Amino acid sequence: MLSGHYAVQLARAWPDAGPGLPDADLLLALHARRSASSIAAWAQAHPQRPLLVALTGTDLYRDIDHDASAQRSLALAHRLIVLQDQAPLALPPQWRDKCRVVLQSSTRRQTLPKSSRHLRVVAVGHLRDEKDPLTLMAAARLLRPDEGIRIDHIGAALDPALGEAARETARDCLHYRWLGALPHGVARLHIQRAHLLVHPSRMEGGAHVIMEAVCSGTPVLASHMSGNVGMLGVDYAGYFPVGDAPALAARFRQCRQDIATGGSSLALLQAQCAARAPLFEPRAEQAALLQVLHECRP
């Protein structure tokens, strides 16, 4: 994104221990808490040089509420970069003026033909509490195998207990498959073939998989929480309440009925996602990021 306009050095920490690297004119730090020591060191050594901090979901919706180092990073930064439209509202009011939204981007993928025999749903995300995979599994248990709804769940079991829950759900529900971790390209093919991507997160800073679905012509069902609303828009029709498995199962049934009868709800989601797709173009992300850096140049 920046190499055509800036001489970019990538480092795990600042000051960087690599030999022979020139001093930098600007620091762009990723993660307020994890990069806190680098942020503090830069601010002390170069208080007049631009300091930008890109915030993650765990920064916004957890760390800045109680972690002193993350809070200090907010105070020291000249600009705060967030990844979706609702994220500035999670910041303390005194820091919102220096916050800028930079939507991440994804490459476009061809929309692949969809089956008319059943509704194919895919969820992509490692199994951990923030992604709330249990709500998807509970929704699968509410569906009968003969309803024509098939669910593929992609992601490694970062929490062993959630992995065991996925195995039990796959054993009990023939229409649910847990595929574990897959290579990125294979996961994207699953997204391209699906009628729907489901994203049931409890905490989210701006999920890349939502962009990948939208840029593949695959509409999204997402939990109604700020990280997802900031990606898909306040008027998006594909939300369900956080943690509400019956509501999610009902949305699956509605979309399955649309395939059988030519109903409009699935088509509406497709149209809304298609309208949103240009926001996730690489050129749009690059332009937004360059604008933030331009603001900070002396």
CB 98 within 8 A of CB 79: yes
Let me know if 240 is exposed, middle or buried by CB neighbors in 10 A (0-12, 13-18, 19+): buried
Verify that 146 and 269 share a domain, yes or no: yes
Per the structure, the complete domain to which residue 86 belongs is given by 27-105+281-296
Mean pLDDT (whole number) for 33-62: 93
Number of folded domains that form the chain:
2
Per residue in 208-265, pLDDT (tens digit) is 999 999 999 999 999 999 999 999 999 999 999 999 999 999 999 999 999 988 888 9
Verify that 86 and 224 share a domain, yes or no: no
Per residue in 265-293, pLDDT (tens digit) is 999 999 999 999 999 999 999 999 999 99
DSSP letters of 196-230?
A: EEEE--SS-S--HHHHHHHTTT--EEEESSHHHHH
Verify that 126 and 154 share a domain, yes or no: yes
CA separation for the pair 249, 238 (Å, rounded)? 13
> 165: pLDDT confidence band, cut at 50, 70 and 90?
very high
Q: Is residue 16 part of a domain?
A: no
> 203: pLDDT confidence band, cut at 50, 70 and 90?
confident
Verify that 164 and 179 share a domain, yes or no: yes
Verify that 150 and 175 share a domain, yes or no: yes
CA separation for the pair 136, 52 (Å, rounded)? 37
Per residue in 82-123, pLDDT (tens digit) is 999 999 999 999 999 999 999 999 999 988 888 889 999 999
Q: Is residue 41 part of a domain?
A: yes
CA separation for the pair 165, 145 (Å, rounded)? 18
Tally helices (H) and strands (E) across the chain: 12, 10
Q: Is residue 11 part of a domain?
A: no
Verify that 53 and 127 share a domain, yes or no: no
Q: Is residue 8 part of a domain?
A: no
Residue 282 has which token pair?
Answer: 């690489």
